[in-house]
Amino acid sequence: MNGMDLNAFGRVGVLMGGTSSEREISLRSGNAVLNALQSAGVDAVAVDLSSDWADNIRNAAIDRAFNVLHGTLGEDGCVQGMLEVMGVPYTGAGVLASALCMHKQLCKQVLNHAGLKTPVDIPLHADGPLRYPVIVKPVAEGSSVGLHRLTEKRDWDALSIDIEADQWMAEMPVEGVEIAVAVLDGKALPAVEVVPKSGVYDYTSKYTAGATEYFCPARLPAETLRYCMLRAEEAVVATGCSGAPRVDMIVTSGGEPYILEVNTLPGMTETSLLPKSAAAAGIDFETLCLKILVSAATENQGVAHA
């Protein structure tokens, strides 16, 4: 980014790792961001959060945090709150928006209130969902961890999951084209079409080489893409997100997008969906990282408009 004073950032800590089920993905994203920032001339250091997070951050003596954590504690408002108490500006959504988007049920309520469509909820009981086929997934996980498409009762029986404490939810499948729309500084980037060979974009499809095809821009009519990009921007406003969140949706044959989730801290490897979208808009990976870094802030990074 021409004319940028890189010294103004001070020492930047790239927060990565964490203790969630997505630790390895976070490390991959974090190292990609670290290399990009260092290549650009930023004084950036890796901060692998694995034990005492506050000590890890304090000992790194950073002036600003580039958050590349995923999942529990890193993406749900916890580390965001700690950074605010420590007075360290950070990238991504604030405390409230992070907590909201991590809780898929509450996020759906906010999106629906804003006039945005989401998949229909299906009652889930100890002996299984009320109907099939159905999508079953954890209420608060990322990277499609634990997502399952069930077609009959024996599929449920084979899962052997504990649905106590409202930790799981079920939704009616939406048939259509799955796309991801990243929103950078409030403006939607070109949509990426996701075509998993298994038919379900779960954890395996996301992170197994060759398991999924990607098309950017998505193979949809121009007017449909514009509409989806507008809806993604509206979802980001409704949830109070900032930085570069990604809105995942399925577009029906009638051109109507159903929002699956709002991902506040998308993957940042050079082959992740956000960088693909940015590249289609003429923004290389290094520039993308710098643009996100510029957005780092503290104190009320966004309030959900419920």
- The residues assigned a catalytic role are 22, 143, 272
Residue 123 region, left (φ>0) first, then alpha (ψ -120 to 50), else beta? beta
Nearest residue to 151 via CA among 128, 180, 118, 123: 128
Binding site annotation covers 300? no
Rounded distance between C-alpha atoms, residue 48 and residue 69, angstroms: 10
Nearest residue to 260 via CA among 164, 95, 116: 116
38-42 LR contacts (CB < 8 Å, sep 24+): 39/286, 40/6, 40/286, 40/289, 40/290, 41/6, 42/6, 42/9, 42/12, 42/290, 42/293
Tokens 């504690």 sit at which residue?
73
Binding site annotation covers 263? yes
Binding site annotation covers 248? yes
**Residue 216 in contact with residue 277, Cβ under 8 Å?**
yes
> What's the Cα-to-Cα distance from 118 to each of 107, 177, 260, rounded to whole Å?
10, 14, 6
Single-letter amino acid, residue 21: S
List, as residue ranges, the binding site for Mg(2+).
248, 261, 263
List, as residue ranges, the binding site.
248, 261, 263
